[in-house]
């Protein structure tokens, strides 16, 4: 039995890292996956080929810059057109970089708030009629730093805090047809900007994590699968998947 058989799930930022892990796991559970990407065309095409080789006509590609509001509504339409329905939305795409207070620019604000809060809001709004029709679910990928801000990452932390609020507000707005939940990862993957966390900082983070090690994208993907397929009475929640780091942070 495949718990997501015949379901259609749109995953933003799905070409690499957590998004790709989620795509593979949900696809393995029977879902047809709409893979969104912005710039990572080669990685997205490779993942699409992989999923379609495993099960024919089970993955589709959509490209969009989520900072362009006019593209968001079209992304929802393209996603529904790919397979004729939409059962799940995973708001995973995210920008992350430092913004030391006193030097923040409007461009940095627009990028971080746009990708982490504005795009999930407007994409959820565009997808909502289709998700209501299928009694679907939304999962927002937040961050441990939504609740415990990261120094010199003020705008990112504020945007993720807003995403947590959006998750709860959407759960209220879309009930009872659509469940809306969030996941707050802790140390799962180090940022691609390796300079942000030097080796000593990484060691400190691992030492603060109760389970004593960094997590994996699959840890987040398994929680997404739980919320999509096995949590019919869970909505409006932010689940920490952080190895217990939030206990001591």
User: Which candidate in 130, 153, 156, 245 is catalytic?
Assistant: 156
Going across the sheet that includes 59-63, the strands are 59-63, 32-37, 8-11, 88-91, 137-141, 179-185, 238-241
CA separation (Å) from 157 to 17, 154, 171, 181? 20, 5, 21, 18
- Distance CA(90)–CA(30), nearest Å, equals 16
Contacts of 224 (CB under 8 A, 6+ apart): 22, 25, 26, 90, 139, 183
**Residue 233 is a catalytic residue:** no
Which stretch of DSSP H or E encloses residue 72? Answer: helix 69-83
Q: List residues with catalytic annotation.
A: 156
């Amino acid at each position: 039995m495949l718990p997501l058989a015949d379901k259609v799930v749109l995953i933003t930022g799905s070409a690499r890292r957590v998004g790709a892990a989620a795509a593979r796991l949900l696809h393995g559970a029977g879902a047809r996956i709409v893979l969104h990407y912005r710039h990572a065309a080669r990685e997205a095409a490779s993942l699409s080929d992989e999923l379609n080789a495993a099960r024919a006509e089970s993955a589709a590609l959509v490209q969009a810059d989520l900072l362009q509001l006019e593209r968001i509504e079209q992304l929802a339409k393209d996603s529904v057109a790919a397979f004729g329905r939409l059962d799940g939305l995973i708001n995973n795409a995210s920008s992350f970089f430092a913004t030391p207070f006193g030097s923040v620019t409007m461009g940095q604000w627009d990028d971080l708030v746009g990708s982490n809060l504005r795009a999930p809001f407007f994409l959820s709004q565009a997808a909502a009629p289709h998700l209501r029709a299928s009694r679907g679910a939304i999962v927002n990928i937040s961050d441990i730093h939504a609740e415990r801000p990261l120094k010199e990452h003020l705008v990112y932390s504020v945007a993720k805090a807003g995403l947590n609020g959006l998750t709860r507000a959407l759960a209220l707005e879309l009930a009872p047809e659509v469940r809306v939940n969030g996941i707050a990862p802790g140390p799962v993957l180090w940022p691609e900007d390796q300079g942000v966390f030097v080796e000593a900082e990484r060691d400190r983070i691992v030492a603060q994590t109760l389970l004593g090690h960094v997590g994996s994208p699959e840890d987040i993907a398994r929680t997404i699968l739980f919320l999509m397929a096995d949590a019919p009475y869970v909505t409006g929640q932010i689940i920490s998947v952080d190895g217990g780091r939030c206990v001591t942070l």
